[in-house]
């Protein structure tokens, strides 16, 4: 794997809404392989913080998600149309 791919996997692993299934689909790494990669590439303290954050988080597992398709969007998030931010 290239350094760029490893960086992208780490970035995706830190994202709350990116599932391990998405990482597996894109890079072919299973959840345990992602955990091993994170352990190998990160400082021990950063790895512990990441594991605490990810453990039990339903959004990191496709089967535990409340929604099937689409992306989460906050009700307070503004719509963007024609490169201008719409007003409420």
Interval 48-60: pLDDT, tens: 999 988 887 766 6
pTM: 0.65
pLDDT of residue 70: 54
Contact between 79 and 86 (Cβ < 8 Å): yes
Instruction: Read off the tokens for 49.
Output: 């913080």
DSSP 6-46: HHHHHHHHHSTT--HHHHHHHH---HHHHHHHHHHHS-HHH
Q: What tens digit of pLDDT does each residue of 2-38 get?
A: 888 899 999 888 887 788 888 888 889 998 999 999 9
Letter string b/e over residues 36-49, b meaning 16 or more CB atoms within 10 A of that residue's CB: ebbeeebeeeeeee
């Amino acid at each position: 794997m290239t350094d760029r791919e490893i960086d992208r996997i780490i970035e995706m692993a830190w994202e709350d809404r990116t599932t391990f299934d998405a990482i597996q689909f894109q890079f072919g790494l299973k959840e345990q392989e992602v955990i091993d990669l994170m352990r190998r590439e990160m400082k021990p303290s950063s790895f512990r913080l990441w594991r605490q954050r990810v453990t039990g988080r339903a959004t990191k597992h496709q089967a535990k998600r409340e929604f099937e398709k689409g992306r989460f969007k906050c009700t307070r998030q503004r719509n963007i149309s024609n490169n201008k931010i719409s007003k409420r």
